[in-house]
Amino acid sequence: MTHGPSTHAVLQPLALTALALLILNDHVFKPAYGGWWTGKLSDVAGLAVFPLLVSAGGQLIGLWPGGMRTVTSIAVATGIAFVAVKLCTPAGDSYRVGLATLQWPARALAALAHGDALPRIGRVQLVADASDLLALPALLVGPLMTARAAHCTCAHHPYLICR
Amino acid sequence: MDDGTAVAQKTGMRMPLTLRHVAVAGVVVVGAAASIATSSPDTLLGTDLYLPTVQLSETHSVATFHLRVVGNGIVRSTHASLQIITQAERPRGPVLLSARSSVDEDTNAGGATIAVDCDSLPCADDVEVRIELQRRPDGTWSPPSSWTLHANLDLALENRRDLPSDVSIKMELVP
């Protein structure tokens, strides 16, 4: 693994909090208090942390250096995909089938463990609401945290490797 | 001493590099799983039906079935798909299977999948299923064989986590 800033940034409290919030919101808040705000919260937390996760994952396996340019490119691509999924029906359908396909192995294993028949791939839920685009500024979090990690000082951030 | 440890010592980093690798990998894996699991699947309601076994031969090479699909309840956004697959005793010859609803049709050798007119509940649609024994590539007919068709109907309730108690689907063979 190289020492690019995205692997530093992804361990910062803000990124970890966004990830924890995403998980809590999807699996606790939405089932219990599902409403417009839980939908927005998932979008904000997801958009904040997703570019960092992809960049750090790629950096971990040597795909890219994980610097500002990488994170910014991933954030831009994520934003374009997010807008398409929310506003364009074919893109939304592709997302629904694609994510369901990724979920299928886990659901199939669970069905086999319970002795049930293999489930159909189906589609995941998607609320196509244009007001979700209000969450787009959260995409700035990844590049900003990466820039901060790149210029940090060890005295202030003892858990980061500084260059 | 490896490069990572040297960097860590020079920079005064407190978390060992190997631990940091593991931490980053852990966060990435958890993040990937969270991203994949961020949306729940649509609630699915299914039913299936085995159609009566038919014997297909050169003289009786075609069998046709009519199905009636009925969905009950009141739900605005649904999606229904019907999958037909064949089961035969050996030896089995080549067959062509086709299914047609009021909104979709599919013809295939091994199975057919079609959408059924059920974009909201309540709904009803008629489906015609046809199986036809084909000649072999060399132009001869295979020996008579028994075929059973399995119809599997899935109704997806879009963007719903729960299954309303009044929702049901039914599929029956129409004489």
- The pLDDT of A4-30, averaged and rounded, is 92
pLDDT value, residue A33: 86
Give contacts of B37 with chain A, Cβ < 8 Å: 26-27, 103
pLDDT value, residue A127: 83
DSSP of A10-41, one letter per residue?
Answer: TTSHHHHHHHHHHHHIIIIIHHHH-SHHHHHH
Of A7, A23, A120, which has the smallest distance from its Cβ to B24's Cβ? A7
Residue B72: strand, helix, or coil: strand
Half-sphere exposure of B20 (CA within 13 A, CB side): 27
Cα A92 to Cα A128: distance, rounded to the nearest angstrom: 8
Of A3, A122, A158, which has the smallest distance from its Cβ to B7's Cβ? A3
ipTM, two decimals, is 0.84
Is A35 or B48 the better-scoring residue by pLDDT? B48
Q: Chain B residues contacting A, CB < 8 Å?
A: 7-8, 11-15, 17, 20-21, 23-25, 27-28, 30-32, 34-42, 44, 46, 79, 154, 156, 158-161
Q: How confident is the model at residue B8 (pLDDT cuts 50, 70, 90)?
A: very low
Query: Is pLDDT at A34 greater than 60 in this prediction?
Result: yes
Judged by average pLDDT, the poorest of A107-116, A149-158, B25-34, B95-104 is A149-158
Q: What are the tens digits of pLDDT across the range B110-168?
A: 789 999 999 999 999 999 999 999 998 898 998 888 899 999 999 988 877 778 888 99
State chain A's mean pLDDT as an integer: 88
Cα B106 to Cα B116: distance, rounded to the nearest angstrom: 12
Of A42, A123, A159, which has the smallest distance from its Cβ to B42's Cβ? A123
- The pLDDT of B54-71, averaged and rounded, is 94
Q: How confident is the model at residue B109 (pLDDT cuts 50, 70, 90)?
A: confident
Residue B70: strand, helix, or coil: strand
Query: Is pLDDT at A68 greater than 80 in this prediction?
Result: yes
pLDDT value, residue A158: 45
Query: Is pLDDT at B5 greater than 80 in this prediction?
Result: no
